[in-house]
Amino acid sequence: MSSAVMIDDFAKRVKAEDAGLISAWIGIPDPLFVNHLAQEAFDAVVLDMQHGMWDMTSAANGIAQGRLAGKPVVARIPVGEFATASRLLDAGAAGIIAPMINSVADAEALVKATKYPPVGERSWGPTLAMNHSGFSGSDYLATANEKTLSIAMIETRVALDAADEILRVDGLDGVFIGPSDLSIALSNGAKLAPDTADMDAVLKHLVARCRAHGKFACVFGSNGERAGALLKMGFQFVIAGADTQQLRAGAASAIAAARSVQKR
């Protein structure tokens, strides 16, 4: 599959029931991190602007590095920053993940900012997106609602209770489950437990609700092994750990190997 096809058909690939896509997750605000991780066999890259340090300029450059490396780049916006979502799509992002979507009104606000009429009210100005794709203005307008993804995060008790109503929102493509925040919420702040049997039951329920509504399901996996288990569970798009975790794990492994040889 060519890199152009991989990027331009990304939305179709995510929506396939057996997609099984694995994405990098980057909070370190350096576009070169995108280039490096995009050389690996990740299907996509997510820029975390909620808890990571990305600003608009570095994110736009990160999106460009992803395109250069042949991988689609999705961005998680800060809570409620729907105007930022529109700007990221203009910069060529393949999709937007919006945190703390707790209601139909929240989901509708996301769609309003990220989809063109008649579905939403996204304002016109996708200069970089057209540069990256090679589409004319008319072609981009005709395909953008289908090719760029609007993804709502479900990570609170309120959102879990409202999941069916959120999933019915027209123009919302899928949901992204945040197991860490959800585990905190469901335990009333007592524990951080994203990888437990209790959480697995919640995750399986949400995958089933996504299937029922014809929407795709994404989730954060704490590491590669957990990501594989989540793919088996039915999620179509998973994270296999964050950049800082992978960076430090690689460093720790190299140091341990060096000390091991030194002591022989």
For each successive 10 residues of the chain (264 residues), what is the average pLDDT?
65 94 98 97 98 98 96 98 98 98 98 98 97 95 97 98 98 98 96 95 98 98 97 98 96 97 95
Tell me the residue ranges of DSSP E strands in the chain: 21-26, 44-48, 73-76, 95-98, 149-154, 174-177, 216-221, 237-240
Q: pLDDT value at position 8?
A: 74
Residues near 112 by beta carbon (within 8 Å), at least 6 away in sequence:
82, 120, 121, 122
Give the length of the chain.
264
What burial class does residue 203 get, using C-beta atoms within 10 Å of its C-beta: 0-12 exposed, 13-18 middle, 19+ buried? Answer: buried
For 73, 145, 146, 173, the CA distances from 139, given in Å and listed in that order, are 20, 11, 12, 20
Which 3 state secondary structure label does DSSP give 166? Answer: helix
**Entry pTM:** 0.96
Q: Is 51 a catalytic residue?
A: yes
Distance CA 239, CA 78 (A): 18
Q: pLDDT value at position 3?
A: 55
Residues near 252 by beta carbon (within 8 Å), at least 6 away in sequence:
none
Q: pLDDT value at position 4?
A: 56
**Of 51, 132, 205, 213, which is the active-site residue?**
51
Query: Helix axis angle, 224-233 relative to 197-213, nearest 10°?
Result: 50
